[in-house]
Chains A and B, each alone.
Chain A
């Protein structure tokens, strides 16, 4: 049985949404700790995480019809990257407010585009489910 409605893309989108929310809370914590000595900035590496989220990297190929399909990727425990402070920083804090603000806005924009994507898919489904009258 092929998943037509809630396919890999659907789960991929919700996984990406979850990742964006996690990145958001990391940025928030970085901004709150912008002046805390020895605090190190934390962030997620989306270039590697997105592959796992959509499930491209470890897609399972079924050799038997009764095998369970490897439908969606995982975002349960993403690796958190830690930024070390530059050697000339006196208080050991590696938060750059400018970088964090850009990351905050960029992330919010990506969050917005993913929610838009999900909404569009939903409205297409609604249209199909209402026999093209919705």
Chain B
């Protein structure tokens, strides 16, 4: 694994955080969508991260290097928020409307950690780049 290959690991980290940011945007945008193409109210989406060994046949260090991948986007099975509003077109027979199981508070906190982790990855890319440059300057 050479120093520039590690850039790919950072890229996988940034990609994973970008997908997470997309699901958060989708959750926030649909915080009040009472119907969807799935036939019920919108369900909160969550990306599932998995670490995958980058070089399973290398030496001890190479073997323990892992990139991150989004293997699936799961729907939250938490119950919907029930609001009594018989005049709403999506109300059920008892007059209750199911609102999405999205909690804006959770989404905001998730958004903060996502952007912080993304930032850490961009910082790591910058440092990798600087180190590669330094190595090139040895012979100068």
Taken together as a complex, chains A and B put the C-alpha atoms of A25 and B62 apart, in Å, by 9
B117 touches A111 (CB 8 A): no
Question: Which one of A2-10, A32-40, A53-61 contacts B?
Answer: A32-40
Task: Name the A residues within 8 Å of B6 (CB-CB).
Answer: 24-25, 28-29
Question: What secondary structure prevails in chain B residues at the interface with A?
Answer: helix
A80 touches B64 (CB 8 A): yes
Task: Name the B residues within 8 Å of A50 (CB-CB).
Answer: none
Task: Name the B residues within 8 Å of A25 (CB-CB).
Answer: 1, 3, 5-6, 9, 61, 65
Known contacts A31-B124, A33-B51, A122-B139; A108/B131 CB under 8 A:
yes
Taken together as a complex, chains A and B put the C-alpha atoms of A76 and B1 apart, in Å, by 13
Question: What secondary structure prevails in chain A residues at the interface with B?
Answer: helix
Q: What 0/1 readout, one digit per residue, does chain A (111-123) give for beta carbons within 8 Å of chain B?
A: 1100100110010
Task: Name the A residues within 8 Å of B113 (CB-CB).
Answer: 35
Give chain B interface residues in 36-85, CB to chain A under 8 Å. Answer: 49-51, 54, 59-61, 64-68
B121 touches A31 (CB 8 A): yes
A32 touches B140 (CB 8 A): no
Taken together as a complex, chains A and B put the C-alpha atoms of A105 and B3 apart, in Å, by 15
A111 touches B123 (CB 8 A): no
Taken together as a complex, chains A and B put the C-alpha atoms of A98 and B128 apart, in Å, by 18
Number of interface residues of B (CB under 8 A): 40
Known contacts A28-B6, A77-B60; A36/B128 CB under 8 A:
no
Name which residue of chain A comes closest to B58, CB basis: A77
Interchain CB contact (< 8 A) of B50 among A36, A80, A105, A119: A36
Task: Name the A residues within 8 Å of B59 (CB-CB).
Answer: 76-77
Interchain CB contact (< 8 A) of A28 among B117, B128, B135: B128
By Cβ-Cβ distance, the 7 closest A-B pairs, closest first, are: A32-B13, A25-B6, A36-B49, A28-B6, A22-B61, A36-B51, A29-B65
Given contacts A34-B117, A35-B117, 8 further A-B contacts (CB under 8 A): A21-B3, A27-B124, A31-B120, A32-B16, A33-B68, A37-B49, A97-B116, A104-B127
The contact sample of 12 A-B pairs, CB cut-off 8 A, is A24-B3, A25-B1, A25-B61, A32-B66, A35-B117, A36-B50, A36-B51, A39-B51, A76-B59, A82-B64, A104-B124, A108-B130
B contacts, CB < 8 Å to A: 1, 3, 5-6, 9-10, 12-13, 16-17, 20, 49-51, 54, 59-61, 64-68, 113, 116-117, 120-121, 123-124, 127-128, 130-131, 134-135, 137-140
